[in-house]
Amino acid sequence: MTARNVVITGASGGIGAAVAELLASRGMSVVIVARRKEALDAVAARCNSRAFPIVADAADRDEVRRVVHESVAHLGHIDVWINNVGRGITRQPSELTDLDIDEMMAINVKPALYGMQEVLPHFKERGAGHIINVSSMLGRIPVAPFRSAYSAAKHYLNSLTANFRAEVQQTHPNIQFSLVSPGVVRTEFGANAIHGGPDSHSLPYSQGAEEVAEVIAGVIKSRAPDVYTRAGASAQIAAHYAAIGADP
């Protein structure tokens, strides 16, 4: 894989950290972004001097704009921007509050929106670029009612990504917007969910963050618009909608 300059948000642990370490091991230069300085520095230390950490809150537009400027200043240019910030919630849909919905949008949608909007002028100036948004299988099939607001936020993110692609590629066809949809991943996602919830490590059919990172690295190479991280995901989605009687 040719060397590229990649910015990764939500990179202090889980999928983001695994992606940073994998890409650095393959000769890429990465900017890693998160709020937790100590954890971020630990990831940078594992990246063999190929990672530049920026402590920032991706849920703050001004902070994201600063990340773009600092990344360009450090790297010279950005090739790939990966929006990986996200957090779960454990609450049935009948129990959701206004605050629950607001928090899910603020964490799972707005950081990606800010990332896409703030890096886009740089990509347009260069005439090329690649944005990868990390979504979820729950953004395709709402099969976990206790994750209802998270699932809805990921559906929103999926639609937003597709509409960005449609708009931007009318004038800049070399700017790609990709979605990557993991299922259950063995990270701290479950333990960190708002209102608590099951530990992701204990759930069936899970995969490691390193496996997801390999898929994301593949998307950087292929620039595919929509990718699942597990084999058989498309069939699982089709089976779900067939079971509820949805017309094709």
Catalytic residues: 150
Q: How many CB atoms lie within 10 A of CB 126?
A: 14
b or e along 61-93 (b: 16 or more beta carbons within 10 Å of the residue's beta carbon)?
Answer: bebbeebbebbbeebeebbbbbbbbbbbbbbee
Bridge partners, 31 (sequence order): 7, 52
Structure tokens at 112: 């990606």
Contacts of 45 (CB under 8 A, 6+ apart): none
Q: Give buried/exposed letters for 149-173 (b at 16+ CB in 10 A, else e).
A: bbbbbbbbbbebbeebbeebeeebe
